[in-house]
Amino acid sequence: MATLETTFAITMLVPLLFSILEFGSALERWLAQDAATVQAARYAGELGGDAPELRVFLAEQLRVAGIDPERVSVDIVPSRVGWREPVRVSLSSAYPVTIPFLFSTTVPLRSSAISRGEVNR
Amino acid sequence: MSWIHDDRGSALVLTLVIAPLLLVALAGVLQLGALRVASARVRAAADLATLVAVNDQDDAELARSGTLRLAADAADVAREFFARELALSAPLLDRAADDIAAGADVVAYPSAPAYDARTGARYDRPTVRIAADVPVRTPIFGALVLRPVTILHVLAVSSPR
C-alpha cells in the first residue's frame, strides 16, 4: 500500500514541480532574449542596418545572458536602412522543456524590436 | 476509533490536497512570468520610441548655433514608434497597439530648461516623454478570480547627449 501511495504521489507531484521550474526558466530566457533584441535594434539604427559589428555585438549579448548564439536565428529587415527609415530586428530560438512522466517539447521564443536609421548617408 | 491511528492512505490524501495547490502555483508562475515579459516589452517599447524621437536632431539648428534641438515632429515620431513596438507584442495586449499609442500622453520639450506638468520633473536638455496605461491580458489571473486584464503604467523619458 505504501509503495503504491508513494508511486502515485511521485507521478503527481514531480511533473508539477518540474513544470514550475522549466517554464520559469523558459520565461527568464525569453526576457533575456528580448533585452538583447532591444539593444541590437538600437545598434542597428546606429549602424544603418545589418553589419558584422551588429552580429558580434548580438552574439556577445546573448552569450552574457547564457544563451548560445548558434541556436538563435537572427533576422534584420531591411538589411540596409537610410536616415529615418525603420529597421526591425527579430530573434527566434527554441527552448527545450522536459516534464518527467508527461512530455518533452520545445517552446518557441520570439523577440522583435524596431528602431530607426540614424545615419544620414 | 482505531481508524484515527491508522495512517494507511494518508500520503494519497496529502497528494490529492497538495496537487491542486501546486497546480495553482504553476498557473500563477506562468501568468506572473508572462506579465513580467509583457511589462519588460512595454517598457522597452516606450524607451525605444522616445530614443528614436530624440536621436533625430534639428541639423540646421545644430549647425547654426551648436545647440541640440528636437525635430519638429519628435512627438509624432515617438507616438508612431510606440505603436510599432507595441504591435510586435499584440497577442499580449488587450487593445490594439494603435489605440494604446493614440491614448498615450506624448510630449516633446524642444528646448531646455523645461518643466513636465505631469511629473513635475525639470529637464535640462531637449526631451521627449511618454506616459501611457497599457492593458495586458492576464487570463490565468481571471480564472483564479483576479483581474483578467492588468493595466501597466509606463513612463519613459529620453534626452539627447
A contacts of B41 (beta carbons < 8 Å): 34
What order do you get walking across the sheet with A103-116 strand by strand? A73-77, A86-99, A103-116
Q: Residue B79 and residue B101: Cα distance in Å, rounded?
A: 6
Q: Which residues contact A45 (CB under 8 A, 6 or more apart)?
A: A81, A87, A115, A116, A117, A118, B52, B55
DSSP assignment of B28-80, as one string?
HHHHHHHHHHHHHHHHHHHHHHHHHHHTSB-HHHHHHH----B-TTHHHHHHH
Residue appearing with cell numbers 548564439: A69
pLDDT classification of B12: cutoffs 50, 70, 90:
confident
What order do you get walking across the sheet with B127-137 strand by strand? B105-109, B127-137, B149-158
Cα nearest neighbour of B9 on chain A:
A5
Residues A64-118: pLDDT tens digits?
999 999 999 999 999 999 888 999 999 999 999 999 988 999 999 999 999 999 8
ipTM computed for the complex? 0.87
Cα nearest neighbour of B25 on chain A:
A20
A contacts of B23 (beta carbons < 8 Å): 16
The distance of A99 to chain B (nearest Cα, Å) reads 13
Judge: B84–A86 Cβ closer than 8 Å, yes or no: yes
More confident residue, A21 or B5: A21
Residue B1 grid cell: 476509533
Residue appearing with cell numbers 513636465: B116
Is it the case that residue B55 has pLDDT exceeding 90? Answer: no
Q: What is the largest CA-CA distance in chain B?
A: 97
The distance of A80 to chain B (nearest Cα, Å) reads 17
* pTM of the complete model: 0.88
Check residue B158 and give its pLDDT: 93
Q: Residue A110 and residue A34: Cα distance in Å, rounded?
A: 8
Is it the case that residue B4 has pLDDT exceeding 70? Answer: no
CB pairs under 8 A between A and B: 85
Cβ(A63)–Cβ(A11) below 8 Å: no
Check residue A4 and give its pLDDT: 82
The distance of B113 to chain A (nearest Cα, Å) reads 25
Residues B115-127: pLDDT tens digits?
999 999 999 988 9
User: Could you tell me the CA-to-CA distances from A33 to A27, B53, B149 in Å, in that order?
Assistant: 10, 24, 25
**Mean of pLDDT values over B41-54:** 95
Residue A106 grid cell: 520545445
Residues B68-108: pLDDT tens digits?
778 889 999 999 999 999 999 999 999 999 999 999 999 99
Judge: B29–A24 Cβ closer than 8 Å, yes or no: yes
CA B134 from chain center: how many Å?
Answer: 6
Judge: A27–B34 Cβ closer than 8 Å, yes or no: yes
Judge: A6–B11 Cβ closer than 8 Å, yes or no: yes
Q: Residue A118 and residue A45: Cα distance in Å, rounded?
A: 6
Cβ(B78)–Cβ(B53) below 8 Å: yes
Is it the case that residue B46 has pLDDT exceeding 60? Answer: yes
From the list A2, A6, A115, the residue facing B48 with the nearest CB is A115
Residue B146: Cβ within 10 Å count: 12
Q: Residue A96 and residue A55: Cα distance in Å, rounded?
A: 24
The CA angle A96-A100-A106, to the nearest 5 degrees, is 15
Cα nearest neighbour of B71 on chain A:
A84
From the list A5, A6, A114, the residue facing B85 with the nearest CB is A114
Check residue B109 and give its pLDDT: 92
Check residue B2 and give its pLDDT: 62
Phi, psi of B116 (to 5 degrees): -85, 115
* Radius of gyration of chain A measured on its C-alpha atoms: 20
Check residue A120 and give its pLDDT: 67
Q: Residue B80 and residue B83: Cα distance in Å, rounded?
A: 5
From the list A13, A17, A112, the residue facing B88 with the nearest CB is A112
Mean predicted lDDT score pLDDT of chain B: 89
Cβ(A14)–Cβ(B19) below 8 Å: no
